[in-house]
Amino acid sequence: MQIQPYLFFEGRTEEAIEFYKKALGAQVEMLMRFKDAPPDPEGANTDAGGCAPAPADMDKVMHASFLVGGQRIMASDGMNSGKAEFKGMALSLSYPTDAETKRAFDALADGGQVQQPLVKTFFSSAFGMVADRFGMNWMVITDTGNPPA
The answer to whether residue 118 scores a pLDDT higher than 60 is yes
Chain segment 70-87, per-residue pLDDT in tens: 999 999 999 888 889 999
| Stated pTM of the model | 0.88
DSSP state of 102: H
Q: Which residues pair with 128 in a beta bridge?
A: 140
**Which pLDDT band holds residue 148 (cuts at 50, 70, 90)?**
low
CA dihedral 59, 60, 66, 71 (to 10 degrees): -160
